[in-house]
Amino acid sequence: MRNNLLYTVFFLVVAAQAQTKMTDSEASHLKNQVKKLATSTKTITSDFVQYKHLDFLDNDIETSGKLAFKAPNLIKWAYLEPFKYAVLFKGETLYINDEGKKSNIDIGSNKMFKQLNNLIVSSVKGDMFDDTKFNIQYFKTSKNRVVYFSPKDEKFAKYIKTFHITFNENGDVTEVKMIESTGDYTKIVFTNKVLNKTIDEAFFTN
Amino acid sequence: MKPFLLISVCTFLLSCGSYPKKNNFKSLENFGAIVNPYFANSNQDYVYKAQIEVYNHNFGGLFIMKKIAAEQHRIVFTTEMGNTLFDFSFNHGDFKVNYILDDLNKKILINILKKDFKTLITEKLEPIETYKLDSETVKKASLDNKTYYYFENPETYKIIRVNNAKEKVRFLFTEINNNIAKRIDIVHSNIKLKITLKSIN
């Protein structure tokens, strides 16, 4: 009897979290929705919490902060807790402010950084539907939709094996999970996301 | 010319003196083993915000250390955004690179880090000699054929690696609370390398 109950509970839990593959039409609906939203998005501001998961640790490492995006490709990623660290992606340069210590990285010459930079910009909007660069798989759960983007470039795949991007009903990104080749991952959860509100230019200085 | 020669000879002779002599250490009877408790608790995730200055370049990241079991440690360094830059394991005497970003995969760099991290995780050593310096106890020890001086006041707060009577690397543990050093500075004097670790958990 007890076992039966256990199985039932287990089944319910699994079913609630189960991911099923989207149909082709569901997938293309999501794709269109995301692309449309991405095109009409001129600015984004959001809070975020980042969880770094390493299998050997007892707890995930939690950091949090604020993100701002301005079309076409201006992004500031600012960690506020438990330390202050900001990266501003502006053109071919990364401007870093590490607890007051400022430095720049020219990413123009580094293919890997360039790729990563482009990905960060596109993953914030979720618009990464490029079959030439990724193997793409579409899933749905009872709550939301998740797309797996696995880089085809072998060198890049060594760095990040798969991106899992979670979309809400509007086609907006609520979560980005970057899984490394070892299985360890970084998960970023967005909250208080606001689209198309004017952002003070001063925020994009470092 | 002559005074100059004299000074040179004196400097030469002085620089040939041992590290304890140069620093006015007074010999003592043996005062027990050296204890470094800062990465010794296997129930603790050690997470530090790191700032690294190497040849006037600055970069940062997260320094993550876990004692997996007795004499087994895992050390991972990631960017602030979470991407792993390197991942090392120490298992008893063995050292293994689990992962390192291609751009950082240089033997000389790995060896420097390996030596520094080995010092951080070594919990106990038998001193070869013990000295007194003011109110502090200084213990000399050998680790992987290198000479180290451990400074205690009364807990270990400084470790100096010495070669030819000269300081090569300084490890400084400050803001110590409950066997956790909230801040650790690793300063190399023969190469321009400085690592600052600030605990964030």
Whether the predicted pLDDT of B1 surpasses 50? no
Q: Would you state the pLDDT for residue B7?
A: 54
At A109, phi and psi to the nearest 5? -90, -10
What average pLDDT does range A114-124 have in this prediction? 74
**How many structural domains is chain A composed of?**
1
Tens digit of pLDDT for each residue in A13-49?
Answer: 555 557 899 999 999 999 999 999 989 999 999 999 9
Q: Which residues of B touch A77 (CB under 8 A)?
A: 81
Q: Which residues of B touch A54 (CB under 8 A)?
A: 64, 76
CB B66 within 8 A of CB B45: yes
Q: Which residues of A touch B78 (CB under 8 A)?
A: 52
At B32, phi and psi to the nearest 5? 95, 175
Sign of the Cα pseudo-torsion (A80, A85, A88, A89, in order): negative
For residue B14, the cross-strand partners are none
Instruction: Give the separation between CA B61 and CA B63, rounded to whole angstroms.
Output: 7
* Nearest alpha-carbon partner for A67 in A86, A53, A82: A86
CB B182 within 8 A of CB B175: yes
Q: Would you state the pLDDT for residue B2?
A: 52
**Encoded tokens for A123:** 């993953």
Q: What secondary structure letter does DSSP report for B40?
A: -
A6 found inside a domain: no
- Which residues in A39-161 belong to E strands, given as ranges? 43-53, 61-70, 74-81, 85-90, 93-98, 101-106, 134-140, 145-151
Confidence category of residue B104, pLDDT binned at 50, 70, 90 = confident
Q: Would you state the pLDDT for residue B13?
A: 46
Amino acid at A168: N
Confidence category of residue B57, pLDDT binned at 50, 70, 90 = confident
Q: Would you state the pLDDT for residue A197?
A: 94
Q: B68 vs A57: CB contact, 8 Å cut-off?
A: no
Q: Would you state the pLDDT for residue A110?
A: 67
Tens digit of pLDDT for each residue in B26-52?
Answer: 777 767 899 999 999 999 999 999 998
A115 found inside a domain: yes
**Encoded tokens for A2:** 């007890």
Identify the residue with better confidence: B25 or B152: B152
A159 found inside a domain: yes
* Nearest alpha-carbon partner for A139 in A92, A100, A193, A177: A177
Between CA B13 and CA B17, with CA B16 as vertex, the angle to 5 degrees is 95
Whether the predicted pLDDT of B10 surpasses 70? no
Q: Omega into A82 within 30° of 0, i.e. cis? A: yes
Indicate the residue of A58, A82, A85 with minimum beta-carbon distance to B45.
Answer: A58
Instruction: Give the separation between CA A180 and CA A162, rounded to whole angstroms.
Output: 7
**Encoded tokens for A194:** 């606001």
A18 found inside a domain: no
* Nearest alpha-carbon partner for B140 in B30, B17, B14, B10: B30
* Low-confidence winner among A100-114, A184-198, B71-85, B139-153 (lowest mean pLDDT): A100-114
* Nearest alpha-carbon partner for A160 in A186, A137, A141: A186
A44 found inside a domain: yes
Instruction: Give the separation between CA A57 and CA B82, rounded to whole angstroms.
Output: 14
Domains of chain B and CATH, by start: 18-199 (2.50.20)
Sequential DSSP letters for B68-101: EETTEEEEEEE-TTS-EEEEEEEETTEEEEEEE-
Confidence category of residue B25, pLDDT binned at 50, 70, 90 = confident
Q: Would you state the pLDDT for residue A109?
A: 65
Helix axes A24-40, A111-125, angle to 10 degrees: 100
Q: Which residues of B touch A98 (CB under 8 A)?
A: 51, 58, 60
Q: Would you state the pLDDT for residue B6?
A: 52
Residue range(s) defining the domain that contains residue A39: 33-204
Percentage with pLDDT > 90 across chain A: 56
Which of A51, A52, A76, A102 is best to mutate for the B interface (most B CBs within 10 A)? A52
Instruction: Give the separation between CA B117 and CA B73, rounded to whole angstroms.
Output: 10
* Complex-level ipTM beyond the 0.85 threshold: no
The contacts of residue B171 (CB under 8 Å, 6+ apart) are B116, B119, B120, B158, B159, B160, B184, B185, B186
Indicate the residue of A57, A85, A112 with minimum beta-carbon distance to B66.
Answer: A57
At B101, phi and psi to the nearest 5? -60, 135
A23 found inside a domain: no
Q: B64 vs A59: CB contact, 8 Å cut-off?
A: no
The contacts of residue B92 (CB under 8 Å, 6+ apart) are B71, B72
Confidence category of residue A192, pLDDT binned at 50, 70, 90 = very high
For residue A145, the cross-strand partners are A140, A167
Which range has the top average pLDDT, A93-97, B90-94, B185-189? B185-189
* Nearest alpha-carbon partner for A190 in A51, A13, A33, A40: A51
Q: Would you state the pLDDT for residue B4?
A: 53
Q: What is the CATH number of the domain that holds A79?
A: 2.50.20.10
Instruction: Give the separation between CA B55 and CA A206, rounded to whole angstroms.
Output: 23
Whether the predicted pLDDT of A163 surpasses 70? yes
Question: What three-state secondary structure class fits B180?
Answer: strand
- In this structure, chain B runs to a length of 201
Indicate the residue of B45, B59, B78 with minimum beta-carbon distance to A59.
Answer: B45
Q: A159 vs B68: CB contact, 8 Å cut-off?
A: no
A120 found inside a domain: yes
A25 found inside a domain: no
